[in-house]
Structure 1
Amino acid sequence: MADLSESAAQIELLDQNLKKTHQLSSRMAGILAHFDSRLIRLEKTLSPVHNSTQSLTRLGANIDATLAALATVRVNQEKTQSDETALMAQPNPSNLGPYLATFDRVMEHISDLKSSGLRGGQGALKENVKLAEVAFKKLCTILTQQIQDGTNISLDIDAFLQDPPRPLSILSTSGTLSSSNLATYLVSSPLALTQAKTYLDESFRGWGETRGSWMKKHLEGLGRRVLIAASAADEGGTQPSESDETGGKLGETLLALAKSEHALLCSLVPDSSAYISSTLQTILTPSLTYFSSGVLASLLTLLKKESAPWKAYTLWDELSKLSNRWDDFFESAGLKNQGELSGFMQAGLKGICLRSIPEAVESAKVSFVVKPGEFQSVSVSSVTTSIVSFLLNLPSYQSVIETFLNTIGDRKWLMGASMANVPVGDDDGLIAHFIYDVTAALVNSLDQRAKALRRGVGGIFLMNNMSFVRDNLVLHSSSNFSDLLGENGDELLNKAFKNAKATYLDPWNELTSPLLQASSSSSNSGNAGRQAVKDQFVKFWDLLDRQEQVHLTNHLGRAGDMKARMRDEVKTLVGKAYKTAVAKHDGSLGTKYIRISPDELDSKLAAMFK
């Protein structure tokens, strides 16, 4: 019971404590509710202050940003003023680095202003663009000046053709151009795509004009030498010119210089095909005009007056070898006016070369008209030497001549004339046919000339000329010509030489005829027989005197051993007949008829051939 009472007392105590705690909690809740209401009233009181503080904070941040922007503007303004001063000054061509760095900075600032999109920056943008354009123009002027300064270099044409220099070596300022790479820099600049491009266009136009004048100047010196060489007489036109100052060399030089200028442009502005082609066209136009309208046109005029076609053949050969490389270069470089060579060759030069073929035949067929009282020369004629020289030089131009022979057609060079005895085979080739026809025309002309001269003189003329022709074309010609002349040509000339020999010996055979008749007659067969023998000796001496007079003023040439052989043949022919006649009639006829001994006659005949 005591325990229960004690437990009940504890429970009652606990219940009292709970009541007190409840009272305290109620009081605390009231206090907190009161405090919460006071906090609400405080919050309502502080809320306007807080809102004002946020506005002030934002205002302060804006002020700080504005001050920072003003500071930046001030710094940029200082930089802009500094850059403007630097860019407005004249650049130092030998040290463009600082100037280009400043220009890059201004271009970067322009890019920033464009990307910002700020309306307030439009004024600054315009000012910077204007400043950049001024600087761009100055740099373009520097580029033009560098090209002009570098063009003072002089070239040795022969050395240039043998070993063309590296592209930049043809400029004396190549070091400056290479180190600054100004041309590439300007072409790649954003301003090159704006209206400032006109400055760059003007600079490259000046580049082209400057280099074009330099190039033409070097070609003009060579061009003058080419025309002088072309107008010089070359041994009467019988021999090709040995001068190396030719139209072909001028063309080779022009092409080599064009390639060099193209390589220079490609090395300085490698990524600008438009500027390369337009500038190269400006460079080449004066030289192309000089080459075609100046030198080639003048050469055409000179070649039309030439008596021999060698210079025309040489020029055709040189230009033919140059033509393909010429066209390939102009096409690959995207240039116009590449047709000068082919146009000149087809329009003018080809006609001269084609005409030379039938003209060669006609010149060999020239008639030797003997006018009354005219001195009848028996020496080798200029026609003979000219035709022989022409024929001997044909192998050196075989490929050129065959081109034109094919164009004309086989035997069409005879111009409708018929040639007697032309046994040339179809397999001999056109040039062999041509050589045969020219040779046959010459042989026929010489024969006609000999027949037009008085007796005895014609034989000496024919012998001199045919000996010269045969010695040069058959006996002492090169293997190349012999192959072209062929067996038919050999036969023609050998037959013509035999005919010339027979023509020359005809008067000597006539001279021996009285001696042969005297040898067959007897001076002891009465007065009539004796008188007939006397008449034969008189006739012999008359004919001998006539031959002596002919040989006194008309001499056999010394071509080979022809003169010695003819002397020996004449001495044998006449001497033997005289000796026989004298041996038969020496005792019956006086010195009036047998004037000299056979030995003295031998000496007399030998004297005619000295």
Structure 2
Amino acid sequence: MDDDTAEIELASNLTLLPNVNVSVVQSSPRHYVAAILSSFDARLVKVEKSILPLYNASQMLSKRGNNIESALQKIDEMKSNQEGIAAEEALILRGPQPGRLDEYKDVLGRVNAGLVFGSLDRDSRDTARLVETGAKKLTQLYTKLVAEASSGAPLNGVEFQLTPFPSSQLAVLDPLVKFLRTLPLPATHPSHPAAPAIQAALKEAQKGYADMRGAWGKKCLELYARRVVERSETLDGVKAGREFGIWVSSLLTVAEAEYGLLLDLAPLSLSPFLESSFGTLVTPLATLFTTTLGSISALIKKSINKHTFLALSAHAHLSQYQGEWDDFMSRRADRAENELKDGLHSLRASCLRSFPEFIADIRLAANGKGGEFSTGLHEITASTVKFLERIPEVQSAASSALLTLGDGNWRMGEGVQIGKAPKADADENTVIEHYMFDVINAVISTLQTLSRTGKRPSFGSIFLINNVSYLRARLLIRPQVNILPLLSKPTQDTLNSNFRTAKAAYFDSNFSPLMQTLSEDKDKGKGAIKEKFTRFFDLLEEVSERHKLARVLQDDREGREQMADEVAKMVVPSLQRFQQKHGGKDFSRNPSKYIKMSADEVENLIRGFYAEGDSKVVPVAERVQNNLLIQAGWSR
């Protein structure tokens, strides 16, 4: 800037510096500008000093305003949270409502997560109690659903059917159990304040599950258990034992099904909890088995001979399920008890008793005195055949029991001790062959003794041939079951030999006197010949009457035909030869007076002894014949 311009500007600003000396301004413009700036600076300092308190106050007010706004927002947020917490607490305390289980689980899961991660603005003890309450409410629902599924009437048809778990309860229980398994437990959340109480609630609910399902399983099986026991008294022993085995199979089916359900529906799925719960569940089933077996065992012990095959059949069929029982009823349930094993020991003891007692009863039958004996089939013969015919059906159980008893130890009273160890070379097939040999020998000995009881040997011989022939036919000649593999060569030889002996005794006591009358002797006079013919036909009439009273081989058509042929061949040819030699007119003017029947008529009469048809006679004659039998010590 030049001097003229500076002067002009200085003149225009003189009013700003009234106190400045004009001469100074005119003489030094630069000093003038400096003075102006200094004056501005002083004024700005003054302005700043006057404005600074107001600025500071406004800044403080702005900060306070922001803080107040933030506080209000936080209060609103807290108010909203408290309202949400109150709603959650109310929902949890009220418990799960129908159709809102998922909502309940979500809320309880959120509250529990907040407690675990510390993300909730609430007291941890109150939150823990709330989580515990929610868990207990869910276990109550769990117990209610299980109770509904374990009530009502099970399926009860003629044959057992497993009653399935209701699908409606299962559809609710499945997601519920999955959620219950996510709840904190001491093993997974050791620091969680509610974990011990939650575990206690789940244990109680799981125990309730086991109690209810165990009682339900027992209820499903009770009806069939009673039916098995009732039918055991009247049903064939082998079939009754088979039915008992089927019932035990049904019991194991229930146990297996319940174990599968427990794996799916147990809130506590760790192994120790499952074993304890399953042990509680199967206890009622095991108790029902013990009670049912006890009833059957009592029936067997009451009449061991009558129910021998019930014991053998039950033992055989129950043995098949020992492995399954050990698995489900003992190992998986962590139970030391094994009711099936104990029951098998009890049944085996009855089986061991039955074999020697049966032989003892056969021998005891030989002591029957003072009564009448039929010339027909004796009860001991029929019962022996029935007994032996049933052995193949329970061969495994019978041979095992006999091997345990010891080869030959069933011969009580012969210096043999029960319980002696079996011979080293004895096997199951050998020991059963030996037992059947002893049974047949015992019954034949008894029959021989009984045949000598009566006063008339002829009737005794008929009795013996009838019974021995029946034994031989049913066991050896025409067996109705496949029993031949169990009859050893000595046993078969015994039957054949005693049949021949019995037949010879029958011929000897009934037809030998006839043959003796036709024998030649020193006296060949007419009177002797007349006496022989008279004696022959008198004896023939006695034999005829005897065979009307006592039928021979009544139920064996083939045996009767063979017997008729043998007797006819023995008697008729001798009669023909005697008649040809002495039957002319030389010994009598009236031969028909002594020769009452021709040889052909005698043969027809003899064959009539063994003909089929009703052997009954008119009532008066029948009473006479019965009296004759009674006098001889026999009856029809």
1:472 corresponds to = 474
- The range that moved more, 351-360 or 197-206, is 197-206
Q: Which runs of 5+ in 2 are unaligned?
A: 1-28, 186-193, 417-424, 612-636
Moved segments of 4+, more than 6 Å:
24-61, 157-162, 425-428
Q: Is the 8 A contact 1:512 1:577 kept in 2?
A: no
**Structure-2 separation of matches of 1:433 and 1:497:** 20
**Structure-2 separation of matches of 1:592 and 1:344:** 78
1:597 corresponds to = 598
Assess, with a 3 A threshold, how the Cα gap between structure 1 residues 551 and 78 changes in structure 2: closer, same or farther: same
1:101 corresponds to = 106
Q: Is the 8 A contact 1:326 1:338 kept in 2?
A: no
Assess, with a 3 A threshold, how the Cα gap between structure 1 residues 332 and 241 changes in structure 2: closer, same or farther: closer
- SS for the counterpart of 2:487 is helix
Q: Deviations over 1:142-175 (max 9, x none)?
A: 111211222347655789978x79xxx5234244
How far 1:264 sits from its partner (Å)? Answer: 0.7
How far 1:548 sits from its partner (Å)? Answer: 2.5
Among candidates 374, 377, 390, match of residue 380 of structure 1: 377
> Is 1:80 aligned to residue 82 of structure 2?
no
- SS for the counterpart of 2:373 is coil
Among candidates 268, 281, 284, match of residue 282 of structure 2: 284
How far 1:432 sits from its partner (Å)? Answer: 1.1
Q: TM-score, normalised by structure 2?
A: 0.77
1:232 corresponds to = 234
Q: Is the 8 A contact 1:150 1:172 kept in 2?
A: no
- SS for the counterpart of 1:276 is helix
- The range that moved more, 329-338 or 209-218, is 329-338
Assess, with a 3 A threshold, how the Cα gap between structure 1 residues 542 and 369 changes in structure 2: closer, same or farther: farther
How far 1:36 sits from its partner (Å)? Answer: 12
Q: Deviations over 1:527-564 (max 9, x none)?
A: xxx44434434443443333233212111123141112
- The range that moved more, 216-225 or 385-394, is 385-394
- The range that moved more, 44-53 or 392-401, is 44-53
1:208 corresponds to = 210
2:172 corresponds to = 177
How far 1:209 sits from its partner (Å)? Answer: 2.6
**Structure-2 separation of matches of 1:330 and 1:54:** 83
Assess, with a 3 A threshold, how the Cα gap between structure 1 residues 563 and 480 changes in structure 2: closer, same or farther: closer
**Structure-1 separation of matches of 2:51 and 2:592:** 180
Query: What amino acid maps onto 2:385 in structure 1?
Result: V
Query: What amino acid maps onto 1:434 in structure 2?
Result: Y
Matches within 5 A, 1:127-138: 127-138=126-137
Query: What amino acid maps onto 1:359 in structure 2?
Result: E
> Is 1:316 aligned to residue 315 of structure 2?
yes
How far 1:410 sits from its partner (Å)? Answer: 1.1
Query: What amino acid maps onto 1:545 in structure 2?
Result: E
Assess, with a 3 A threshold, how the Cα gap between structure 1 residues 137 and 159 changes in structure 2: closer, same or farther: farther
Q: Deviations over 1:349-379 (max 9, x none)?
A: 111011112123223333334534x333011
Q: Is the 8 A contact 1:370 1:376 kept in 2?
A: no
Q: Is the 8 A contact 1:521 1:533 kept in 2?
A: no
**Structure-2 separation of matches of 1:583 and 1:521:** 19
**Structure-1 separation of matches of 2:246 and 2:255:** 14
Matches within 5 A, 1:203-352: 203-234=205-236, 240-243=237-240, 246-269=243-266, 271-292=269-290, 294-306=291-303, 307-336=306-335, 338-346=337-345, 348-352=346-350
2:140 corresponds to = 141
**Structure-2 separation of matches of 1:160 and 1:522:** 83
Query: What amino acid maps onto 1:496 in structure 2?
Result: N
Higher helix share: 1
**Structure-1 separation of matches of 2:261 and 2:426:** 55
**Structure-2 separation of matches of 1:206 and 1:67:** 52
> Is 1:367 aligned to residue 369 of structure 2?
no
How far 1:333 sits from its partner (Å)? Answer: 1.8
**Structure-2 separation of matches of 1:399 and 1:370:** 35
Among candidates 527, 535, 541, match of residue 545 of structure 1: 541
How far 1:135 sits from its partner (Å)? Answer: 2.9
Assess, with a 3 A threshold, how the Cα gap between structure 1 residues 95 and 273 changes in structure 2: closer, same or farther: farther
Assess, with a 3 A threshold, how the Cα gap between structure 1 residues 596 and 476 changes in structure 2: closer, same or farther: closer
**Structure-2 separation of matches of 1:543 and 1:26:** 193
Among candidates 391, 399, 410, match of residue 394 of structure 1: 391
2:14 corresponds to = none
Q: Is the 8 A contact 1:94 1:176 kept in 2?
A: no
Query: What amino acid maps onto 1:132 in structure 2?
Result: V
Q: Is the 8 A contact 2:238 2:313 kept in 1?
A: no
- The range that moved more, 481-490 or 532-541, is 532-541
1:187 corresponds to = 181
How far 1:279 sits from its partner (Å)? Answer: 2.9
- SS for the counterpart of 1:561 is helix
- SS for the counterpart of 1:232 is coil
Q: Is the 8 A contact 1:316 1:349 kept in 2?
A: yes
- SS for the counterpart of 1:296 is helix
**Structure-1 separation of matches of 2:309 and 2:256:** 30
Assess, with a 3 A threshold, how the Cα gap between structure 1 residues 25 and 578 changes in structure 2: closer, same or farther: farther
1:430 corresponds to = 431
Q: Deviations over 1:363-406 (max 9, x none)?
A: 3333334534x333011112111111211221222211121111
**Structure-1 separation of matches of 2:99 and 2:241:** 43
> Is 1:407 aligned to residue 404 of structure 2?
yes
**Structure-2 separation of matches of 1:498 and 1:605:** 20
Q: Is the 8 A contact 1:384 1:442 kept in 2?
A: yes
Assess, with a 3 A threshold, how the Cα gap between structure 1 residues 47 and 411 changes in structure 2: closer, same or farther: farther
Q: How large is the Cα RMSD of the aligned pairs?
A: 3.7
Query: What amino acid maps onto 1:551 in structure 2?
Result: H
Q: Is the 8 A contact 1:467 1:497 kept in 2?
A: yes
Query: What amino acid maps onto 1:247 in structure 2?
Result: F
- The range that moved more, 465-474 or 532-541, is 532-541
Q: Deviations over 1:426-459 (max 9, x none)?
A: 7871111111111111122112222223211111
Q: Is the 8 A contact 1:157 1:253 kept in 2?
A: no
1:6 corresponds to = none
How far 1:520 sits from its partner (Å)? Answer: 4.9
Q: Is the 8 A contact 1:152 1:172 kept in 2?
A: no
- SS for the counterpart of 2:366 is coil
What percent identity do the matched residue pairs reach?
A: 29
Query: What amino acid maps onto 1:268 in structure 2?
Result: L
Assess, with a 3 A threshold, how the Cα gap between structure 1 residues 75 and 316 changes in structure 2: closer, same or farther: same
Assess, with a 3 A threshold, how the Cα gap between structure 1 residues 355 and 44 changes in structure 2: closer, same or farther: farther
Query: What amino acid maps onto 2:212 in structure 1?
Result: T
Q: Is the 8 A contact 1:148 1:210 kept in 2?
A: yes
How far 1:227 sits from its partner (Å)? Answer: 0.5
Assess, with a 3 A threshold, how the Cα gap between structure 1 residues 551 and 508 changes in structure 2: closer, same or farther: same
**Structure-2 separation of matches of 1:582 and 1:209:** 95
Assess, with a 3 A threshold, how the Cα gap between structure 1 residues 534 and 253 changes in structure 2: closer, same or farther: same
**Structure-1 separation of matches of 2:115 and 2:359:** 81
Assess, with a 3 A threshold, how the Cα gap between structure 1 residues 159 and 563 changes in structure 2: closer, same or farther: closer
Q: Which runs of 5+ in 1 are unaligned?
A: 1-23, 235-239, 420-424, 525-529
Q: Deviations over 1:85-138 (max 9, x none)?
A: 3334353344411222222233234335x467x8xx43xx44444443333332
How far 1:217 sits from its partner (Å)? Answer: 0.9
- The range that moved more, 41-50 or 274-283, is 41-50
Q: Is the 8 A contact 1:313 1:397 kept in 2?
A: yes
- The range that moved more, 508-517 or 393-402, is 508-517
Assess, with a 3 A threshold, how the Cα gap between structure 1 residues 564 and 77 changes in structure 2: closer, same or farther: same
How far 1:55 sits from its partner (Å)? Answer: 8.0
